Structure 1
Amino acid sequence: MSRPLLSVVIPIYNEESALPELFMRLYAALDQLRLPYEVILVDDASIDGSPRLLREQFPRRPQETRVVLLEFNVGQHMAILAGFRHASGERIVTMDADLQNPPEEIGKLLAEMDRGYDYVGGARIDRQDSWWRRHASRAVNGLRARTTGIRMTDQGCMLRAYERHVVDLILRSEEVNTFIPALAYRYARRPAEVGVVHEARVAGASKYSLMRLVALNFDLMTGFVRRSNRRVVVNESFIR
Protein backbone atom coordinates (compact mmCIF):
# COMPACT_ATOMS: atom_id res chain seq x y z
CA MET A 1 0.00 0.00 0.00
CA SER A 2 1.33 3.45 -0.93
CA ARG A 3 1.48 6.13 1.72
CA PRO A 4 -2.10 7.20 2.50
CA LEU A 5 -3.26 10.77 2.14
CA LEU A 6 -5.64 10.35 5.08
CA SER A 7 -5.32 8.64 8.48
CA VAL A 8 -8.43 8.29 10.65
CA VAL A 9 -7.58 7.69 14.33
CA ILE A 10 -10.34 6.28 16.56
CA PRO A 11 -9.80 5.60 20.29
CA ILE A 12 -11.98 2.74 21.55
CA TYR A 13 -12.95 1.73 25.06
CA ASN A 14 -15.72 -0.83 25.64
CA GLU A 15 -17.57 -0.05 22.40
CA GLU A 16 -18.41 -3.64 21.43
CA SER A 17 -22.06 -2.81 20.71
CA ALA A 18 -21.22 0.18 18.48
CA LEU A 19 -18.34 -1.28 16.46
CA PRO A 20 -20.29 -3.27 13.82
CA GLU A 21 -22.19 -0.17 12.66
CA LEU A 22 -19.05 1.96 12.95
CA PHE A 23 -17.18 -0.37 10.59
CA MET A 24 -20.05 -0.45 8.11
CA ARG A 25 -20.50 3.32 7.93
CA LEU A 26 -16.86 4.36 8.33
CA TYR A 27 -15.36 2.38 5.46
CA ALA A 28 -18.30 3.23 3.19
CA ALA A 29 -17.86 6.95 3.90
CA LEU A 30 -14.10 6.83 3.35
CA ASP A 31 -14.43 4.83 0.12
CA GLN A 32 -16.68 7.61 -1.18
CA LEU A 33 -13.85 10.13 -0.76
CA ARG A 34 -11.81 8.28 -3.41
CA LEU A 35 -8.42 8.89 -1.86
CA PRO A 36 -5.86 6.54 -0.24
CA TYR A 37 -6.58 6.20 3.47
CA GLU A 38 -5.89 4.15 6.58
CA VAL A 39 -8.01 3.58 9.67
CA ILE A 40 -6.12 3.34 12.96
CA LEU A 41 -8.24 1.69 15.65
CA VAL A 42 -6.73 2.15 19.11
CA ASP A 43 -8.18 -0.07 21.83
CA ASP A 44 -7.62 1.46 25.26
CA ALA A 45 -7.51 -1.87 27.16
CA SER A 46 -11.23 -2.57 26.76
CA ILE A 47 -12.71 -5.25 29.02
CA ASP A 48 -15.59 -6.16 26.70
CA GLY A 49 -15.43 -7.78 23.27
CA SER A 50 -13.95 -4.76 21.48
CA PRO A 51 -10.43 -6.23 21.00
CA ARG A 52 -11.92 -9.37 19.47
CA LEU A 53 -14.02 -7.34 17.01
CA LEU A 54 -10.97 -5.28 16.03
CA ARG A 55 -8.96 -8.43 15.33
CA GLU A 56 -11.84 -9.76 13.23
CA GLN A 57 -12.12 -6.49 11.29
CA PHE A 58 -8.47 -6.39 10.27
CA PRO A 59 -8.56 -9.25 7.71
CA ARG A 60 -11.74 -7.81 6.14
CA ARG A 61 -9.91 -4.60 5.11
CA PRO A 62 -6.21 -5.34 5.72
CA GLN A 63 -4.91 -2.72 3.29
CA GLU A 64 -6.68 0.11 5.09
CA THR A 65 -6.81 -1.13 8.69
CA ARG A 66 -4.32 -0.73 11.52
CA VAL A 67 -5.14 -2.01 15.02
CA VAL A 68 -3.29 -0.81 18.13
CA LEU A 69 -4.02 -2.71 21.36
CA LEU A 70 -2.91 -0.87 24.51
CA GLU A 71 -1.90 -3.04 27.45
CA PHE A 72 -3.24 -0.64 30.09
CA ASN A 73 -6.09 1.86 30.11
CA VAL A 74 -4.48 5.26 29.59
CA GLY A 75 -7.47 7.44 28.70
CA GLN A 76 -8.80 8.90 25.49
CA HIS A 77 -6.16 11.55 24.88
CA MET A 78 -3.19 9.24 25.41
CA ALA A 79 -4.89 6.68 23.16
CA ILE A 80 -5.16 9.34 20.46
CA LEU A 81 -1.46 10.10 20.81
CA ALA A 82 -0.71 6.40 20.39
CA GLY A 83 -2.74 6.50 17.18
CA PHE A 84 -0.89 9.62 16.03
CA ARG A 85 2.42 7.77 16.40
CA HIS A 86 1.22 5.11 13.96
CA ALA A 87 -0.46 7.49 11.51
CA SER A 88 1.35 7.98 8.21
CA GLY A 89 -1.18 10.14 6.36
CA GLU A 90 -0.64 13.73 5.26
CA ARG A 91 -3.91 14.56 6.99
CA ILE A 92 -5.11 13.00 10.24
CA VAL A 93 -8.72 12.93 11.43
CA THR A 94 -9.87 11.92 14.91
CA MET A 95 -13.37 10.80 15.83
CA ASP A 96 -15.22 8.88 18.53
CA ALA A 97 -16.25 5.25 18.08
CA ASP A 98 -19.82 5.79 19.31
CA LEU A 99 -20.96 7.38 16.00
CA GLN A 100 -22.11 10.59 17.64
CA ASN A 101 -19.60 12.04 15.19
CA PRO A 102 -20.92 10.68 11.87
CA PRO A 103 -18.08 9.46 9.61
CA GLU A 104 -20.02 10.93 6.70
CA GLU A 105 -18.97 14.37 8.01
CA ILE A 106 -15.24 13.73 7.49
CA GLY A 107 -15.41 15.06 3.94
CA LYS A 108 -16.67 18.39 5.27
CA LEU A 109 -13.51 18.84 7.35
CA LEU A 110 -11.26 17.87 4.45
CA ALA A 111 -13.02 20.36 2.18
CA GLU A 112 -12.24 23.08 4.71
CA MET A 113 -8.58 22.01 4.70
CA ASP A 114 -8.57 22.30 0.92
CA ARG A 115 -9.22 26.01 1.49
CA GLY A 116 -5.86 26.33 3.24
CA TYR A 117 -6.64 25.63 6.90
CA ASP A 118 -4.20 23.29 8.67
CA TYR A 119 -6.39 22.42 11.67
CA VAL A 120 -10.17 22.13 11.45
CA GLY A 121 -12.27 21.46 14.53
CA GLY A 122 -15.83 20.26 14.40
CA ALA A 123 -18.50 22.32 16.17
CA ARG A 124 -21.49 20.15 17.04
CA ILE A 125 -24.84 21.35 15.69
CA ASP A 126 -27.98 20.46 17.69
CA ARG A 127 -26.15 18.30 20.24
CA GLN A 128 -27.87 15.02 21.04
CA ASP A 129 -26.80 14.92 24.68
CA SER A 130 -28.61 15.25 27.98
CA TRP A 131 -29.39 18.69 29.42
CA TRP A 132 -26.77 18.40 32.16
CA ARG A 133 -24.07 17.29 29.72
CA ARG A 134 -24.75 20.19 27.34
CA HIS A 135 -24.65 22.77 30.14
CA ALA A 136 -21.65 21.19 31.84
CA SER A 137 -19.83 21.23 28.51
CA ARG A 138 -20.66 24.90 28.02
CA ALA A 139 -19.27 25.75 31.46
CA VAL A 140 -16.12 23.67 30.91
CA ASN A 141 -15.57 25.27 27.48
CA GLY A 142 -15.62 28.70 29.12
CA LEU A 143 -13.24 27.63 31.87
CA ARG A 144 -10.87 26.02 29.38
CA ALA A 145 -10.87 29.18 27.27
CA ARG A 146 -9.90 31.28 30.29
CA THR A 147 -7.27 28.76 31.41
CA THR A 148 -5.58 28.09 28.08
CA GLY A 149 -6.20 31.47 26.45
CA ILE A 150 -7.53 29.65 23.40
CA ARG A 151 -11.10 30.24 22.27
CA MET A 152 -12.93 27.60 20.27
CA THR A 153 -16.67 27.23 19.84
CA ASP A 154 -16.68 23.53 20.76
CA GLN A 155 -13.60 22.21 22.50
CA GLY A 156 -15.22 18.86 23.29
CA CYS A 157 -15.97 17.63 19.78
CA MET A 158 -13.72 14.73 18.81
CA LEU A 159 -14.26 15.11 15.06
CA ARG A 160 -11.15 17.09 14.08
CA ALA A 161 -8.72 17.22 11.18
CA TYR A 162 -5.00 17.98 11.38
CA GLU A 163 -2.34 18.54 8.76
CA ARG A 164 0.77 16.41 9.20
CA HIS A 165 3.00 19.18 10.56
CA VAL A 166 0.52 19.96 13.36
CA VAL A 167 0.47 16.33 14.53
CA ASP A 168 4.26 16.16 14.34
CA LEU A 169 4.53 19.21 16.61
CA ILE A 170 2.04 17.71 19.08
CA LEU A 171 4.06 14.48 19.25
CA ARG A 172 7.29 16.39 19.61
CA SER A 173 5.93 18.27 22.63
CA GLU A 174 5.68 14.96 24.57
CA GLU A 175 2.97 16.29 26.89
CA VAL A 176 1.68 13.96 29.64
CA ASN A 177 -1.65 15.60 30.51
CA THR A 178 -2.44 16.89 27.06
CA PHE A 179 -5.42 18.81 25.77
CA ILE A 180 -4.86 17.92 22.14
CA PRO A 181 -7.28 20.44 20.54
CA ALA A 182 -5.66 23.32 22.42
CA LEU A 183 -2.17 22.18 21.45
CA ALA A 184 -3.27 21.91 17.83
CA TYR A 185 -4.78 25.38 17.96
CA ARG A 186 -1.49 26.72 19.29
CA TYR A 187 0.65 24.99 16.66
CA ALA A 188 -1.59 25.54 13.63
CA ARG A 189 -0.89 28.41 11.28
CA ARG A 190 -4.53 28.69 10.10
CA PRO A 191 -7.03 27.03 12.45
CA ALA A 192 -10.74 26.93 11.68
CA GLU A 193 -14.01 25.40 12.85
CA VAL A 194 -16.88 23.98 10.84
CA GLY A 195 -20.34 22.91 11.95
CA VAL A 196 -20.87 19.15 12.01
CA VAL A 197 -23.87 16.92 12.65
CA HIS A 198 -24.13 15.35 16.10
CA GLU A 199 -26.12 12.14 16.48
CA ALA A 200 -27.37 10.13 19.44
CA ARG A 201 -25.22 7.17 20.47
CA VAL A 202 -26.03 4.07 18.44
CA ALA A 203 -25.51 1.82 21.48
CA GLY A 204 -24.13 1.74 24.98
CA ALA A 205 -23.61 4.70 27.28
CA SER A 206 -21.06 7.46 27.70
CA LYS A 207 -17.92 6.42 29.55
CA TYR A 208 -17.79 9.76 31.36
CA SER A 209 -19.87 10.64 34.41
CA LEU A 210 -20.15 14.30 35.44
CA MET A 211 -17.41 13.95 38.06
CA ARG A 212 -15.13 12.10 35.66
CA LEU A 213 -15.60 14.83 33.04
CA VAL A 214 -14.69 17.48 35.60
CA ALA A 215 -11.62 15.52 36.75
CA LEU A 216 -10.52 14.86 33.17
CA ASN A 217 -10.78 18.49 32.15
CA PHE A 218 -8.93 19.62 35.28
CA ASP A 219 -6.04 17.29 34.41
CA LEU A 220 -6.01 18.40 30.79
CA MET A 221 -6.11 22.11 31.57
CA THR A 222 -3.50 22.04 34.32
CA GLY A 223 -1.29 19.83 32.15
CA PHE A 224 -1.60 22.30 29.29
CA VAL A 225 -0.64 25.22 31.52
CA ARG A 226 2.29 23.36 33.14
CA ARG A 227 3.50 22.03 29.78
CA SER A 228 5.16 19.01 31.41
CA ASN A 229 8.05 17.42 29.54
CA ARG A 230 7.67 13.98 31.14
CA ARG A 231 7.02 11.27 28.59
CA VAL A 232 4.69 8.33 29.19
CA VAL A 233 5.64 5.02 27.59
CA VAL A 234 2.57 2.96 26.67
CA ASN A 235 2.95 -0.77 26.12
CA GLU A 236 1.06 -1.75 23.00
CA SER A 237 0.75 -4.40 20.35
CA PHE A 238 0.19 -3.55 16.70
CA ILE A 239 -1.71 -5.45 14.03
CA ARG A 240 -0.75 -4.43 10.52
Structure 2
Amino acid sequence: MVVPVFNEEESLPLLFRRLYSVLDGLGRDYEVIFTNDGSSDGSSALLAAQYRARPDVTRVIEFNANYGQHMAVMAAFESARGDVVVTLDADLQNPPEEIPKLLAQTDAGHDCVGGIRARRRDSLFRREASRLVNFARARMTNIRMTDQGCMLRAYSRAVVGAVIRSGASNTFIPALACSLARSPVEIAVAHEERRNGRSNYSLARLIRLNFDLVTAFTTAPLQLFTLFAMACSAGSLLLVLVLAFRRIFLGAEAEGLFTLFGILFFLVSVCMTGIGLIGEYVGRTYQVVRGRARYHISRVLGFPPEQAPAREEKP
Protein backbone atom coordinates (compact mmCIF):
# COMPACT_ATOMS: atom_id res chain seq x y z
CA MET A 1 0.00 0.00 0.00
CA VAL A 2 1.46 3.37 -1.07
CA VAL A 3 0.09 6.68 0.26
CA PRO A 4 1.69 10.03 -0.70
CA VAL A 5 1.10 12.72 1.95
CA PHE A 6 1.35 16.49 1.62
CA ASN A 7 -0.13 18.74 4.31
CA GLU A 8 -2.87 16.29 5.32
CA GLU A 9 -2.72 16.80 9.10
CA GLU A 10 -6.49 17.00 9.42
CA SER A 11 -7.23 13.94 7.27
CA LEU A 12 -4.61 11.52 8.57
CA PRO A 13 -6.26 10.36 11.85
CA LEU A 14 -9.42 9.28 10.03
CA LEU A 15 -7.38 7.81 7.18
CA PHE A 16 -5.44 5.66 9.65
CA ARG A 17 -8.62 4.29 11.22
CA ARG A 18 -10.35 3.49 7.95
CA LEU A 19 -7.33 2.25 6.00
CA TYR A 20 -5.95 -0.14 8.61
CA SER A 21 -9.43 -1.45 9.36
CA VAL A 22 -9.86 -2.38 5.70
CA LEU A 23 -6.41 -3.91 5.33
CA ASP A 24 -6.67 -5.90 8.56
CA GLY A 25 -9.94 -7.37 7.30
CA LEU A 26 -8.47 -8.63 4.02
CA GLY A 27 -6.71 -11.59 5.58
CA ARG A 28 -3.53 -10.86 3.60
CA ASP A 29 -0.02 -9.83 4.51
CA TYR A 30 0.47 -6.13 3.82
CA GLU A 31 2.60 -3.09 4.47
CA VAL A 32 1.67 0.60 4.21
CA ILE A 33 4.32 3.00 2.92
CA PHE A 34 3.61 6.67 3.57
CA THR A 35 5.75 9.20 1.70
CA ASN A 36 5.73 12.60 3.38
CA ASP A 37 6.27 14.96 0.45
CA GLY A 38 7.75 17.88 2.38
CA SER A 39 4.66 18.69 4.44
CA SER A 40 4.85 21.93 6.43
CA ASP A 41 2.07 21.07 8.91
CA GLY A 42 1.92 18.34 11.53
CA SER A 43 1.75 15.43 9.07
CA SER A 44 5.28 14.26 9.89
CA ALA A 45 4.53 13.91 13.60
CA LEU A 46 1.30 12.03 12.91
CA LEU A 47 3.06 9.60 10.57
CA ALA A 48 5.76 8.97 13.19
CA ALA A 49 3.08 8.33 15.80
CA GLN A 50 1.31 5.88 13.49
CA TYR A 51 4.58 4.06 12.91
CA ARG A 52 5.03 3.68 16.66
CA ALA A 53 1.45 2.42 16.98
CA ARG A 54 1.75 -0.15 14.13
CA PRO A 55 5.47 -0.75 13.53
CA ASP A 56 4.83 -4.21 12.10
CA VAL A 57 3.15 -2.92 8.93
CA THR A 58 3.91 0.80 8.76
CA ARG A 59 6.77 2.37 6.80
CA VAL A 60 7.47 6.09 6.44
CA ILE A 61 9.65 7.92 3.90
CA GLU A 62 10.33 11.58 4.63
CA PHE A 63 11.35 13.95 1.81
CA ASN A 64 13.37 17.03 2.70
CA ALA A 65 11.20 19.16 0.39
CA ASN A 66 8.15 18.97 -1.85
CA TYR A 67 8.91 17.01 -5.02
CA GLY A 68 5.38 16.25 -6.15
CA GLN A 69 2.89 13.46 -5.75
CA HIS A 70 4.32 11.22 -8.44
CA MET A 71 7.88 11.37 -7.12
CA ALA A 72 6.45 10.46 -3.70
CA VAL A 73 4.79 7.41 -5.23
CA MET A 74 7.97 6.51 -7.13
CA ALA A 75 10.05 6.57 -3.93
CA ALA A 76 7.60 4.17 -2.28
CA PHE A 77 7.55 1.92 -5.36
CA GLU A 78 11.31 1.46 -5.08
CA SER A 79 10.93 0.09 -1.55
CA ALA A 80 7.63 -1.80 -1.80
CA ARG A 81 7.88 -5.59 -1.50
CA GLY A 82 4.35 -6.82 -2.22
CA ASP A 83 3.19 -8.75 -5.27
CA VAL A 84 0.47 -6.11 -5.67
CA VAL A 85 0.94 -2.40 -4.94
CA VAL A 86 -2.11 -0.18 -4.37
CA THR A 87 -1.87 3.63 -4.47
CA LEU A 88 -4.24 5.87 -2.53
CA ASP A 89 -4.43 9.61 -1.88
CA ALA A 90 -4.40 10.71 1.76
CA ASP A 91 -7.33 13.14 1.43
CA LEU A 92 -9.96 10.34 1.63
CA GLN A 93 -11.74 11.42 -1.54
CA ASN A 94 -11.17 7.85 -2.71
CA PRO A 95 -12.48 5.66 0.13
CA PRO A 96 -10.11 2.93 1.39
CA GLU A 97 -13.15 0.66 1.52
CA GLU A 98 -12.88 0.36 -2.29
CA ILE A 99 -9.49 -1.39 -2.13
CA PRO A 100 -10.98 -4.95 -2.15
CA LYS A 101 -12.55 -4.18 -5.55
CA LEU A 102 -9.12 -3.51 -7.01
CA LEU A 103 -7.60 -6.61 -5.44
CA ALA A 104 -10.38 -8.75 -6.87
CA GLN A 105 -9.33 -7.60 -10.35
CA THR A 106 -5.64 -8.34 -9.72
CA ASP A 107 -6.63 -11.79 -8.46
CA ALA A 108 -8.45 -12.24 -11.78
CA GLY A 109 -5.18 -11.70 -13.65
CA HIS A 110 -5.14 -7.98 -14.47
CA ASP A 111 -1.76 -6.33 -13.90
CA CYS A 112 -2.99 -2.72 -13.84
CA VAL A 113 -6.34 -1.77 -12.30
CA GLY A 114 -7.47 1.83 -12.63
CA GLY A 115 -10.27 3.49 -10.75
CA ILE A 116 -12.98 5.57 -12.42
CA ARG A 117 -14.50 8.06 -10.00
CA ALA A 118 -18.27 7.52 -10.04
CA ARG A 119 -20.32 10.65 -9.29
CA ARG A 120 -17.31 12.88 -8.75
CA ARG A 121 -17.59 15.27 -5.81
CA ASP A 122 -15.39 17.96 -7.33
CA SER A 123 -16.31 21.40 -8.60
CA LEU A 124 -17.78 21.82 -12.08
CA PHE A 125 -14.55 23.48 -13.24
CA ARG A 126 -12.40 20.53 -12.06
CA ARG A 127 -14.73 18.00 -13.71
CA GLU A 128 -14.84 19.81 -17.04
CA ALA A 129 -11.10 20.53 -17.05
CA SER A 130 -10.42 16.87 -16.35
CA ARG A 131 -12.72 15.82 -19.18
CA LEU A 132 -10.97 18.18 -21.59
CA VAL A 133 -7.51 16.96 -20.60
CA ASN A 134 -8.58 13.33 -20.89
CA PHE A 135 -9.90 14.04 -24.38
CA ALA A 136 -6.67 15.78 -25.48
CA ARG A 137 -4.47 13.05 -24.02
CA ALA A 138 -6.49 10.29 -25.71
CA ARG A 139 -6.12 12.02 -29.08
CA MET A 140 -2.37 12.65 -28.78
CA THR A 141 -1.21 9.39 -27.18
CA ASN A 142 -2.03 5.69 -27.42
CA ILE A 143 -2.82 5.54 -23.70
CA ARG A 144 -6.45 4.66 -23.04
CA MET A 145 -7.52 5.81 -19.61
CA THR A 146 -11.01 6.96 -18.66
CA ASP A 147 -10.03 8.82 -15.48
CA GLN A 148 -6.37 9.75 -15.32
CA GLY A 149 -6.82 11.83 -12.16
CA CYS A 150 -7.91 8.96 -9.92
CA MET A 151 -4.99 7.72 -7.78
CA LEU A 152 -6.85 4.70 -6.39
CA ARG A 153 -5.08 2.08 -8.52
CA ALA A 154 -3.48 -1.34 -8.20
CA TYR A 155 -0.36 -2.57 -9.99
CA SER A 156 1.34 -5.93 -10.23
CA ARG A 157 4.97 -6.38 -9.20
CA ALA A 158 5.97 -6.63 -12.88
CA VAL A 159 4.38 -3.28 -13.73
CA VAL A 160 5.90 -1.57 -10.68
CA GLY A 161 9.32 -2.90 -11.67
CA ALA A 162 8.90 -1.61 -15.21
CA VAL A 163 7.92 1.84 -13.92
CA ILE A 164 11.02 1.94 -11.71
CA ARG A 165 13.31 0.87 -14.55
CA SER A 166 11.94 3.61 -16.81
CA GLY A 167 14.11 6.10 -14.91
CA ALA A 168 11.87 9.03 -15.87
CA SER A 169 12.52 12.27 -13.97
CA ASN A 170 9.17 13.80 -14.98
CA THR A 171 6.46 11.26 -15.30
CA PHE A 172 2.76 10.67 -14.78
CA ILE A 173 2.74 7.27 -13.09
CA PRO A 174 -0.84 6.11 -13.90
CA ALA A 175 -0.30 6.73 -17.62
CA LEU A 176 3.18 5.21 -17.61
CA ALA A 177 2.00 2.11 -15.75
CA CYS A 178 -0.98 1.73 -18.09
CA SER A 179 1.30 1.90 -21.13
CA LEU A 180 3.54 -0.82 -19.64
CA ALA A 181 0.74 -3.16 -18.54
CA ARG A 182 -0.15 -6.34 -20.39
CA SER A 183 -3.75 -6.64 -19.18
CA PRO A 184 -5.07 -3.29 -17.85
CA VAL A 185 -8.65 -2.82 -16.71
CA GLU A 186 -10.73 -0.01 -15.22
CA ILE A 187 -13.50 -0.24 -12.64
CA ALA A 188 -15.87 2.27 -11.06
CA VAL A 189 -15.00 3.35 -7.52
CA ALA A 190 -16.75 5.66 -5.08
CA HIS A 191 -15.68 9.27 -4.68
CA GLU A 192 -16.25 11.52 -1.68
CA GLU A 193 -16.04 15.23 -1.05
CA ARG A 194 -12.80 16.47 0.42
CA ARG A 195 -13.34 16.54 4.17
CA ASN A 196 -10.61 18.96 5.22
CA GLY A 197 -8.63 21.78 3.66
CA ARG A 198 -8.23 22.47 -0.02
CA SER A 199 -6.88 20.45 -2.89
CA ASN A 200 -3.09 20.50 -3.12
CA TYR A 201 -3.37 20.80 -6.90
CA SER A 202 -3.66 24.44 -7.89
CA LEU A 203 -4.47 25.43 -11.46
CA ALA A 204 -0.77 26.07 -12.14
CA ARG A 205 0.22 22.62 -10.83
CA LEU A 206 -2.50 20.94 -12.90
CA ILE A 207 -1.26 22.70 -16.03
CA ARG A 208 2.34 21.69 -15.28
CA LEU A 209 1.28 18.11 -14.59
CA ASN A 210 -0.51 17.88 -17.91
CA PHE A 211 2.53 19.28 -19.72
CA ASP A 212 4.46 16.39 -18.16
CA LEU A 213 1.76 13.95 -19.24
CA VAL A 214 1.78 15.05 -22.88
CA THR A 215 5.49 15.64 -23.42
CA ALA A 216 6.52 12.41 -21.66
CA PHE A 217 4.51 10.14 -23.94
CA THR A 218 4.25 11.71 -27.37
CA THR A 219 5.74 14.17 -29.85
CA ALA A 220 2.28 14.92 -31.26
CA PRO A 221 2.34 18.59 -30.11
CA LEU A 222 5.51 19.18 -32.14
CA GLN A 223 3.93 17.51 -35.16
CA LEU A 224 0.75 19.54 -34.80
CA PHE A 225 2.77 22.72 -34.52
CA THR A 226 4.73 21.81 -37.65
CA LEU A 227 1.51 21.27 -39.58
CA PHE A 228 0.12 24.55 -38.28
CA ALA A 229 3.32 26.38 -39.26
CA MET A 230 3.10 24.90 -42.76
CA ALA A 231 -0.51 26.04 -43.05
CA CYS A 232 0.48 29.54 -41.90
CA SER A 233 3.29 29.62 -44.45
CA ALA A 234 0.92 28.62 -47.23
CA GLY A 235 -1.60 31.24 -46.12
CA SER A 236 1.11 33.90 -45.89
CA LEU A 237 2.31 33.11 -49.41
CA LEU A 238 -1.22 33.35 -50.72
CA LEU A 239 -1.72 36.70 -48.97
CA VAL A 240 1.55 38.05 -50.40
CA LEU A 241 0.37 37.10 -53.88
CA VAL A 242 -2.97 38.85 -53.29
CA LEU A 243 -1.28 42.00 -52.02
CA ALA A 244 1.13 41.98 -54.94
CA PHE A 245 -1.77 41.65 -57.37
CA ARG A 246 -3.60 44.57 -55.72
CA ARG A 247 -0.43 46.67 -55.73
CA ILE A 248 0.10 46.11 -59.45
CA PHE A 249 -3.45 46.54 -60.62
CA LEU A 250 -5.02 48.83 -57.99
CA GLY A 251 -2.07 50.95 -56.94
CA ALA A 252 -0.67 51.76 -53.50
CA GLU A 253 -3.10 51.29 -50.58
CA ALA A 254 -2.37 52.68 -47.13
CA GLU A 255 -4.36 50.00 -45.37
CA GLY A 256 -2.05 47.33 -46.81
CA LEU A 257 0.66 48.42 -44.36
CA PHE A 258 -1.55 47.63 -41.41
CA THR A 259 -2.43 44.27 -42.93
CA LEU A 260 1.26 43.43 -43.10
CA PHE A 261 1.70 44.47 -39.46
CA GLY A 262 -1.16 42.19 -38.48
CA ILE A 263 0.38 39.28 -40.36
CA LEU A 264 3.78 39.96 -38.81
CA PHE A 265 2.43 40.04 -35.27
CA PHE A 266 0.52 36.81 -35.86
CA LEU A 267 3.54 34.97 -37.25
CA VAL A 268 5.77 36.23 -34.42
CA SER A 269 3.27 34.90 -31.88
CA VAL A 270 3.24 31.54 -33.68
CA CYS A 271 7.05 31.41 -33.54
CA MET A 272 7.08 32.23 -29.83
CA THR A 273 4.55 29.46 -29.17
CA GLY A 274 6.71 27.01 -31.09
CA ILE A 275 9.84 28.03 -29.21
CA GLY A 276 8.05 27.53 -25.91
CA LEU A 277 6.82 24.10 -26.99
CA ILE A 278 10.28 23.01 -28.11
CA GLY A 279 11.65 24.37 -24.83
CA GLU A 280 9.35 22.04 -22.88
CA TYR A 281 10.87 19.02 -24.59
CA VAL A 282 14.43 20.31 -24.38
CA GLY A 283 14.01 21.14 -20.68
CA ARG A 284 12.82 17.63 -19.87
CA THR A 285 15.70 16.15 -21.84
CA TYR A 286 18.11 18.37 -19.90
CA GLN A 287 16.70 17.20 -16.57
CA VAL A 288 17.37 13.58 -17.53
CA VAL A 289 20.83 14.21 -19.02
CA ARG A 290 22.23 16.16 -16.06
CA GLY A 291 21.51 13.17 -13.80
CA ARG A 292 20.52 15.03 -10.65
CA ALA A 293 18.57 13.31 -7.91
CA ARG A 294 14.84 13.20 -8.48
CA TYR A 295 14.27 13.57 -4.75
CA HIS A 296 16.17 13.60 -1.46
CA ILE A 297 15.12 11.43 1.48
CA SER A 298 15.80 12.92 4.90
CA ARG A 299 14.47 10.11 7.11
CA VAL A 300 12.95 6.64 6.94
CA LEU A 301 10.96 4.75 9.57
CA GLY A 302 10.12 1.07 9.76
CA PHE A 303 12.31 -0.28 6.97
CA PRO A 304 14.69 -3.16 7.73
CA PRO A 305 18.32 -2.25 6.90
CA GLU A 306 18.41 -4.30 3.71
CA GLN A 307 15.21 -2.67 2.41
CA ALA A 308 15.68 0.94 3.53
CA PRO A 309 15.61 3.35 0.57
CA ALA A 310 18.74 5.34 -0.20
CA ARG A 311 18.84 8.91 1.03
CA GLU A 312 19.44 10.12 -2.52
CA GLU A 313 17.86 8.61 -5.63
CA LYS A 314 19.02 9.41 -9.16
CA PRO A 315 17.20 8.75 -12.41
SS at match of 1:37: coil
The aligned residue for residue 36 of structure 1 is 29
Whether 1:77 and 2:66 are equivalent positions in the alignment is no
Matches of 1:85 and 1:187 in 2, distance apart?
Answer: 17
TM-score, normalised to structure 2, is 0.72
Q: Deviations over 1:55-101 (max 9, x none)?
A: 11101110010000001210011111011011111100001000001
Indicate which of 50, 69, 79 corresponds to 1:86.
Answer: 79
The aligned residue for residue 220 of structure 1 is 213
TM-score, normalised to structure 1, is 0.93
Gaps of 5+ in 1: 1-7
Contact 2:71 2:294 survives alignment (8 Å): no
Aligned length: 233
Whether 1:13 and 2:3 are equivalent positions in the alignment is no
Contact 1:177 1:224 survives alignment (8 Å): no
Matches of 2:294 and 2:150 in 1, distance apart?
Answer: 26
**1:151 shift after superposition:** 1.5
Indicate which of 189, 203, 206 corresponds to 2:199.
Answer: 206
The aligned residue for residue 133 of structure 1 is 126
* Structure ID, larger Rg: 2
Contact 2:169 2:294 survives alignment (8 Å): no
Whether 1:235 and 2:228 are equivalent positions in the alignment is no
Matches of 1:34 and 1:167 in 2, distance apart?
Answer: 23
Matches of 1:190 and 1:196 in 2, distance apart?
Answer: 19
Question: Which deviates more, 149-158 or 35-44?
Answer: 149-158
The aligned residue for residue 58 of structure 1 is 51
Residue pairs, 1:87-166, within 5 angstroms: 87-166=80-159
What RMSD in Å do the two structures reach over aligned CA positions? 1.4
The aligned residue for residue 3 of structure 1 is none
Contact 1:179 1:221 survives alignment (8 Å): no
Matches of 2:111 and 2:213 in 1, distance apart?
Answer: 23
Question: Which deviates more, 204-213 or 16-25?
Answer: 204-213
Matches of 1:183 and 1:42 in 2, distance apart?
Answer: 20
Contact 1:179 1:224 survives alignment (8 Å): no
**1:217 shift after superposition:** 1.1
Contact 1:120 1:161 survives alignment (8 Å): yes
Matches of 1:164 and 1:224 in 2, distance apart?
Answer: 22
Matches of 1:105 and 1:124 in 2, distance apart?
Answer: 11
User: Which structure features the higher share of strand residues?
Assistant: 1
Give the structure, 1 or 2, with the largest relative contact order (CA under 8 Å, sep 6 or more): 1
**1:157 shift after superposition:** 0.4
SS at match of 1:235: strand
SS at match of 1:186: helix
Letter in structure 2 aligned against 1:43? N
The aligned residue for residue 255 of structure 2 is none
Letter in structure 1 aligned against 2:67? V
SS at match of 2:198: coil
The aligned residue for residue 61 of structure 2 is 68
Matches of 2:167 and 2:88 in 1, distance apart?
Answer: 21
User: Which structure features the higher share of helix residues?
Assistant: 2
SS at match of 2:32: strand
SS at match of 2:78: helix
Letter in structure 1 aligned against 2:296? N
Letter in structure 2 aligned against 1:192? V
| Paired-residue identity, % | 55
